Amino acid sequence: MELQAALEALAGGVRPAPDAYRTARGDWLRRERRRRLVLAVLIAVVFTLATLIGLWVLNQTPSDPGVIFSGAEGVVAGTGPG
């Protein structure tokens, strides 16, 4: 019972700063803006890297037709042997 009375007396003497809510809300909004900015930059970096890697991989294909198409000149689909 004495502890409760002491805590009530201590809590009764605490007064928040007049602009505490405004300060806390401003801090929260700043953190939220920063979080969104970091997320947007991260998304842009990942998208750019994926695009560049994809273009690089597509550019690495050999320029010669390859084994799959050797001897297939003049063959029309559906008219081959068989």
Instruction: Report pLDDT digits (tens) over 36-76.
Output: 999 999 999 999 999 999 999 988 877 766 666 556 565 55
pLDDT at 65: 62
Cβ-Cβ contacts under 8 Å for 23 (sequence gap 6 or more)? 17
Contact between residue 19 and residue 25 where contact means Cβ atoms under 8 Å apart: no
Token reading at 63: 């320029």
Whole-model pTM above 0.75?
no
Q: Say yes or no to pLDDT of 82 above 70.
A: no
